[in-house]
Amino acid sequence: MKKETLWLILLPFLTLGLGIIWGEYFGLFRAGQAVVSCEVQKQLIPVSPMVMDSYYDEEKWVLTLKVVNPGSMPVELVSKSVMLKPAQSNIPEIAMVEIPLGIVLNGWDEVVINMQISAEAKGKFKVGDVLLSTITYRLPVSRDLYSVVHMFTKSTDTNESGMVKSQNQSNETIKQAYEEKVKNTK
């Protein structure tokens, strides 16, 4: 076989080999950049605060909410409001709105918020009634206000300290996963 013919046969294979090497190098390089970019962006994605637990103290007329920030970005809890809606009616009986909070909730942090129910609600909060609590918050990347609404439905169950539990408690699995994540990040 002539030398020129051998080169003509080997040239496509050499070109193919160089193309594969270059493609793999730049493909892996760009994939690495994409992964790093996703990790950085993941830390900047705003997350809504979540109500993980709630109890109602019948003696003090206080609704207690355990609020957590499941993301890494801090959120400012601006205000809270609460409304009592009887089970047999669509019209709220008692409402207290826009009570200032001014709490900065850092990433993976939690805070307990007490909502004092007015004295006129005494005796009106019965099994099946709903307390709608709203927490208004602001993210550091926006001037907009957002809100989280938690629905507390009165049940007959009480915990060890005599506080009334909600019929719609947060999922135990979510609470355990959150507590595990907090433990691992500290």
Band of pLDDT at residue 79, cut at 50, 70 and 90 = very high
Question: Can you tell me the mean pLDDT for 93-115?
Answer: 87
Mean pLDDT of 72-88: 87
Higher pLDDT, 30 or 100: 100
Ranges of each domain in the chain? 1-44, 50-185
Q: Which of 50-59, 117-126, 153-162 tops mean pLDDT?
A: 50-59
Q: What is the mean pLDDT of the chain?
A: 78
pLDDT digits (tens, 9 = 90+) for 128-168: 888 889 999 999 888 899 999 998 887 766 554 445 655 44
**Distances 61 to 12, 123, 153, 156, 176 between C-alpha atoms, Å:** 83, 10, 15, 16, 28
Separation of alpha carbons 75 and 98, rounded Å: 17
The superfamily (CATH) of domain 50-185 is Immunoglobulins (2.60.40.10)
